[in-house]
Structure 1
Amino acid sequence: MITIIIPTYNEKDNLPIVVDAIFSVFNDNLLQGDIVIVDDNSPDGTGEIADELSIKNNKIKVLHRRRKEGLSSAIIQGFKYTGSNIIGVMDADLSHPPEMIPELIRPLLDGESEFVIASRYIRKEKIEKWPLSRKMISRGATILARPLTDVSDPMSGFFFLKRTVIDGIELSPIGYKIMLEIIVKGRYINIKEIPFTFKNRYKGESKLNWKEHLNYVQHLIKLYRYSVISSHQ
């Protein structure tokens, strides 16, 4: 069984489209899967849209949170909710193409890897319609994480893993880059990166701001400390 976790905040226009696309991919490829939507009390009515989708399809589960608590904690709550052996994480804004799902889960099903990442940087850069400033910030964040991992795109928000990678692991990320913490703390032997083209969000506004950049720096410091302590144990 495959579960895809989709954290949402103000994604009412995008959510029905991405959900339909995911189930089309499941059906076309004979995959058994469901979706867990974790909504942070979106003021635009995303939670209500999610409920309507779940009424129509019992393979959609919705977790409602009382306030905006952040993407990372939403994903962690989704991890705790599902019992699936394979778990994926995707954004709701259609920047992560659902048609990539079969390619991303194949190494998990075949036993080649326990952790598969959709990478924007594994070969040449594949990002659509980003201004130079955002590309520079993304590259800078990747460079800062280099002492922690040689993964080419540790900032990716599009990934799949086996449950065993996170079982028994305490995850407490600061900000929205949860995958980096899983890379540092997770239980796995092989990580596989697969290139994809990151598309600009379909509708709505980006949640990225200066506060999230600051959170990322604080998160990095925390992970550096963890890495040093772990290496001496």
Structure 2
Amino acid sequence: MDQLMISLVIPSYNEAGNIAAVMDAIAKEMRHQQARFEVLFVDDGSTDGTMDEIRSVLLTYPEAEYVSFTRNFGKEAAILAGLQHANGQAVIIMDADLQHPPSLIPELLQGFEEGYHQVVAKRNRKGDSRVRSFLSSFYYRLVNQAIDVRLSNGEGDFRLLSRKAVDSLLLLSESNRFSKGLYAWIGLEQKTITYENVVRQHGETKWSFGKLLNYAIDGIVSFNTKPLRLCFYMGLLSLGAALLYIAITLLGIFKNGVDVPGYFTTISSVLFLGGVQLVSLGILGEYVGRIYNETKKRPHYLVGQSSTEVKGKRDVHASIHQS
């Protein structure tokens, strides 16, 4: 372990109240391991003084580094930036809010020493409301039926990745990233450890219902084309129902003569077919929008400032002053 460098990537958005605490806890655990380490904070365009706290941490801990975005690009971009800037042979991804307990770091490192490329921390749902637990379970059952990889309820970004796993993830350059799916897609040997759910101590969760819903949609459409196939099946079903209705109506005309069409039948047909068309257009729109975003080839994020850049400027100024 002494010869290894361990990188810890901490995506941070408006976590001013947690930065110092999470750094203290990580440093304590890592120094017990007697391992070389770096802690890379990725500030995702915070507006609450998070960057001031990160700079203060750098004065106390030489192991701390940071990358600061020009604006809020989202957690997926922050994770990607952390992986791209991490130097370690193993990388641990964890949140800044202490809901990912630093006390699990020894178990993660143990799994890495055993030869696993992914050591995943899986939480239980203790403390979550019944509604949220039910929705989570329902979502994972649904998404595992729809996508080409398998996701596990309770497994998130809190995990250790070997350098091979990190390099594999960095080969995947799509703009619409869904990390849970990407972790599963690359495969590699994986070990899972479990832990009790931890309640946030400071600040508020950044995951509103709307963001969770969008995240769920990302998970479904990012790894398969089954929704498009579903549109095809719905079209066939609608066509079959329409042909059956026409056949029954024609038989009625031949048997009983021409009758005045019913209001209910007409409205029901229009609403049903209109609903199918709108749903299909919505699914098609999701895929077309993603294709549009991919073709623009915009960067995943823009860096406003980094500790490496600041230290480089200081070294240049110091050398000029000495000369």
| Range of TM-score over shorter length | 0.7 to 0.9
Bigger Rg, structure 1 or 2 = 2
Check conservation: 2:9, 2:79, Cα contact below 8 A.
yes
Provide the C-alpha distance between the structure 2 equivalents of 1:171 and 1:213, rounded to a whole number of angstroms.
24
Pair 1:43-2:37 in alignment: no
**Which consecutive unaligned segments of at least 5 residues does structure 2 have?**
227-323
Check conservation: 2:181, 2:219, Cα contact below 8 A.
no
Provide the C-alpha distance between the structure 2 equivalents of 1:87 and 1:156, rounded to a whole number of angstroms.
15
Pair 1:170-2:172 in alignment: yes
Higher relative contact order (CA 8 A, sep 6+): 1
Please report how far the alpha carbon of residue 48 of structure 1 lies from its aligned counterpart in structure 2 after TM superposition: 1.2
Provide the C-alpha distance between the structure 2 equivalents of 1:50 and 1:144, rounded to a whole number of angstroms.
40
Please report how far the alpha carbon of residue 180 of structure 1 lies from its aligned counterpart in structure 2 after TM superposition: 2.5
The aligned runs of 1:58-207 (5 Å cut-off) are 58-111=62-115, 113-120=116-123, 126-147=124-145, 148-150=148-150, 152-153=152-153, 155-168=155-168, 169-172=171-174, 174=176, 178-184=179-185, 186=186, 188=188, 190-207=189-206
**Secondary structure at 2:192's aligned position in 1?**
strand
Please report how far the alpha carbon of residue 196 of structure 1 lies from its aligned counterpart in structure 2 after TM superposition: 0.9
Percent identity of equivalent pairs: 25
Provide the C-alpha distance between the structure 1 equivalents of 2:118 and 2:142, rounded to a whole number of angstroms.
22
Please report how far the alpha carbon of residue 167 of structure 1 lies from its aligned counterpart in structure 2 after TM superposition: 1.4
Check conservation: 1:166, 1:182, Cα contact below 8 A.
no
Check conservation: 2:136, 2:153, Cα contact below 8 A.
no
Please report how far the alpha carbon of residue 173 of structure 1 lies from its aligned counterpart in structure 2 after TM superposition: 6.5
Q: Which amino acid aligns with 1:38?
A: V
Q: Give the helix-richer structure, 1 or 2.
A: 2
Provide the C-alpha distance between the structure 1 equivalents of 2:81 and 2:11, rounded to a whole number of angstroms.
10
My pick for the range that moved more, 129-138 or 70-79, is 129-138
The aligned runs of 1:2-21 (5 Å cut-off) are 2-21=6-25
The Cα RMSD (Å) is 2.1
Check conservation: 1:174, 1:219, Cα contact below 8 A.
no
My pick for the range that moved more, 43-52 or 134-143, is 134-143
Provide the C-alpha distance between the structure 2 equivalents of 1:117 and 1:150, rounded to a whole number of angstroms.
14
TM-score, with length taken from structure 1: 0.85
Provide the C-alpha distance between the structure 1 equivalents of 2:135 and 2:83, rounded to a whole number of angstroms.
29
Please report how far the alpha carbon of residue 211 of structure 1 lies from its aligned counterpart in structure 2 after TM superposition: 2.7
Check conservation: 1:76, 1:171, Cα contact below 8 A.
no
Provide the C-alpha distance between the structure 1 equivalents of 2:149 and 2:194, rounded to a whole number of angstroms.
17
Aligned length: 217
**Which consecutive unaligned segments of at least 5 residues does structure 1 have?**
121-125, 227-233
Provide the C-alpha distance between the structure 2 equivalents of 1:173 and 1:201, rounded to a whole number of angstroms.
30
Deviations 1:54-100 (A, max 9, x none): 12212100111011110111010011111211001101111111110
Provide the C-alpha distance between the structure 2 equivalents of 1:140 and 1:163, rounded to a whole number of angstroms.
34
Deviations 1:187-215 (A, max 9, x none): 52x11111111211111111112133223
Mark the CA change 1:171 to 1:191 in structure 2 (over 3 Å): closer, same or farther: farther
My pick for the range that moved more, 149-158 or 5-14, is 149-158
TM-score, with length taken from structure 2: 0.62
